[in-house]
A and B are shown apart, each in its own frame.
Chain A
Amino acid sequence: MDNHPEGCGGGAKRPLWPLILLVVAFASSALFAQYQKKPPDFGGIYSFPTPTHPEPRGIVLLSLDVAMLAVGLGLGAYFVLKRRSRNATLLLSIAAIAYFGFYRKGCTCPIGSIQNVTLSLVDPHYLISPGVIAFFLLPLIAALLFGRVFCGGVCPLGTVQDLVLLRPMNVPRKLDRVLRWIPFVYLAVVIFFAGWGLPTVTSSGKEIVLRRFLICEWDPFIGIFRLSGPFHMLAIGAGFLMVGMFYGRPYCRWLCPYGGLLSILSRVAWKNVTVTPDKETYCGMCADACPYGAIHDYNADRATCVSCARCYECCPREIVRLRREGIPAKRYVSVPGGRGPA
C-alpha cells in the first residue's frame, strides 16, 4: 500500500490492483466454497464427538518400572550372594524377561539410557525423564555394592541369552581377552553418536547434525520382545541367540556397552560371588561350570562374573554345607565340557 504514492496524491490515476485482488478473493472463496464446508448445524439431534487420544504411560506406571528395577536388583543380590541359589536366580530372570522384556517391550533399559544420559550432559535442553536417570544409575550403584547382579537376573537382554545356553563351550582365553575390548570401543562410538553425531546434508539440502542412538537401532533382542521389528534387528537377534546356545551370553560379554561400564565398577564391588562357602578344595569344578569363563584361580573374577549363580550348584563344599544344614542338597550338576561328576 505504501509503495503507491501517486494513488494518494493524484487521485486521477487510481491503481487497479485492489480491485483485482477483490475479484480474485471473491472468485477463490466461491471456488473453495464448492469444496470446503463448515460443519453442519444438526440442531439438537447430534453432538460432535471428540476424537479419543490414548494417554501415554502415566507417572504411576513409570514409577512402577523403577520400583521393579530396584526390587529386581535387590532380589538378585539376595538370591546370588545370600541364598546362593541358581533356581531362584533363574526364576528372577524369567520374571525379568516377562516384565522388562515382553510387557515393557524392552524400553526403558539401562543399556539404552547411556545415550540419553550422554545427550542430556551434552545438550541441557534435551528432555530426560527422571525414570531414565534412575534406570541408568541404579544398576551401576548395585554393581559397586554387589557386582553385576543386573546382568545376572534383571537385564532381559542378558537373561534371554542365559535361557538359550544349552551346551556351553569355552572360548580360547586369548581370543576372549581381545573380544572383551569391543564393548569399550562400542561404548565410545555410542557416546560420540548420541552426544555429537555426524553432520549430514539432507535430501532438501539442509545441513543437520545427525545424532543417532546406535544401541537402540542395533538392539538384537528388542525385536524378539516386540514380536516384530526391522529385518536387520531380528536377524542379528536370531544370530546372537544361535551363538548363545554354545557360547554363553555373546552380547553381554563382547558387545554390551553397559556391561562394559558395569565391569569397571564391579571390579571394586563391596560383596561379590565367593564360590566355596568355607574351605577351598581346589577341585576346579566351578571353573568348568562357569559358561562365561569368569572363574580364575578358584575365584570369581568380579569384572566378568555376571552373577548367574551356576558355580554354587557344582561346588562340592556347597553340597556339604547344604547337607549339614539339613537342606536337601541337589545333585552335582554336570556341565557339558566340564569334568564334574554326573
Chain B
Amino acid sequence: MSETNTRRKFIDTTCRIIGFAALGGVGAVLTTRASAHAVFQVDPLKCTSCDLCRTSCVLSLSAVKAVNEFSKCGYCMLCPAYMDVTSAPNEKGVPSGKVCPQDALKRRVVGKEDLDDPNNNYYEYSVDEPKCTGCGKCIKACKPPFGNGSLRLEIRYDRCVTCNECSILIACPEEAIVRVPAPGLSPLLTQGETANG
C-alpha cells in the first residue's frame, strides 16, 4: 500500500474514533437527562375554550375533544351546554336550539322517562367523539355559575399524533397546553385542580 493510502487510512480511523467519542459523550450527557416519554395535555384551569384547538391542530379533525366528567355533571334537563337557552322554546317549553354546531353532545334519559314533563327527567350527557371538533362552545356554556363545569377539553391520545412541536401549543394564547411525562397524567385529568405541568 502506498504511503498516501496509509496516511489517508490513519486519518480516517482517527477521525472515526473521534466521531464515536463525540457521539458517546453526547449520548452520555443525554442519557443522564432522559426522562419518561412526554405527552401534551390541556390544563383545564388555564383553558378558555377559545376555538384555537379546533383550528390549529395539524389534523384536519382536531385531536382535542370535549369530555364530560360524569361525577361533576348535574344531569339537568335544562343543560346550558346541550341546548341554546336563548333559542325559542318548543311546545313543551324546552329551548329548541342546540349549542353544539356538530350535534356531537348526546343525551339519554337515566331510568324511566317521564314523557309528559321532561323536567322530571335526568339526562346523561356524553360526547360523540367522531363528530366533536373541539371548538369548546359547550365547555364555555357549562362553565360556572350557569353550569357545573363538568365539560372540559382534552387531547385524545388515540387521535393525537404526538408531534414533536404541538401546533396548538404554539397557537394557545393562555399557555394552556402543557408537556408532561406520560405516567403523570392522572391528577390533572381526573381532578382538574393542579395547574402545574
Contacts and interface: CB of A to CB of B under 8 A. Distances in A.
Q: Do A and B come from one complex?
A: yes
Interface of A: 31-32, 35-40, 42, 45-46, 48-51, 53-57, 59, 62, 105, 107-108, 112-113, 115-117, 120-121, 124, 126-131, 133, 136-137, 140-141, 144, 202-204, 212-213, 216-217, 222-223, 226, 228-230, 233, 265, 267-270
B52 interface: no
B39 interface: yes
Contacts of A213: 164-165
Contacts of A144: 16, 19-20, 23
Given A35-B146, A45-B111, A54-B158, A130 B75 contact: no
Contacts of B179: 127
Given A45-B110, A56-B160, A56-B162, 4 more contacts: A36-B144, A42-B110, A59-B37, A107-B162
B173 to A, nearest CB: 6
- Chain A CB within 10 A, most for which of B36, B58, B147, B164: B164
Interface of B: 11-13, 15-16, 19-20, 23, 26-27, 29-31, 33-39, 58-60, 67-76, 80, 110-111, 122, 124, 126, 144-148, 154, 156-165, 167, 170, 173, 179-182, 185, 189
Contacts of B161: 105, 107, 226
A56 B148 CA distance: 28
A48 B33 contact: no
Q: Give 9 nearest A-B pairs by CB, closest first.
A: A37-B74, A213-B165, A54-B158, A228-B60, A268-B15, A127-B38, A56-B157, A129-B37, A48-B70
A254 to B, nearest CB: 22
Contact of B111 (A42, A112, A212, A217): A42
18 contacts: A35-B147, A40-B122, A42-B111, A51-B68, A51-B70, A54-B157, A56-B160, A59-B37, A107-B161, A127-B38, A128-B35, A133-B27, A137-B23, A144-B23, A212-B170, A223-B58, A228-B58, A229-B58
A222 B13 CA distance: 37
Contacts of B163: 107, 216
Nearest to B27: A137
Nearest to A211: B165
Contacts of A130: 31, 34
A53 B33 contact: no
Contact of A50 (B15, B35, B70, B185): B70
A127 B182 CA distance: 11
A116 B164 contact: yes
Contact of B156 (A32, A38, A54): A54
Contacts, number: 154
B145 A35 contact: yes
B39 A56 contact: yes
- Chain A CB within 10 A, most for which of B68, B167, B189: B167
B71 A36 contact: no
B75 A39 contact: yes
A42 B75 CA distance: 11
Contacts of A108: 164
Contacts of A54: 156-159
A128 B36 CA distance: 7
A12 B20 CA distance: 86
A188 B189 CA distance: 39
B124 to A, nearest CB: 8
Given A202-B173, A268-B12, A121 B30 contact: yes
A331 to B, nearest CB: 35
Nearest to B149: A36
Contact of A36 (B37, B68, B74): B74
Contact of B19 (A39, A51, A265): A265
B173 A203 contact: yes
Given A216-B165, A270-B16, A128 B33 contact: yes
Nearest to A104: B161
Nearest to A213: B165
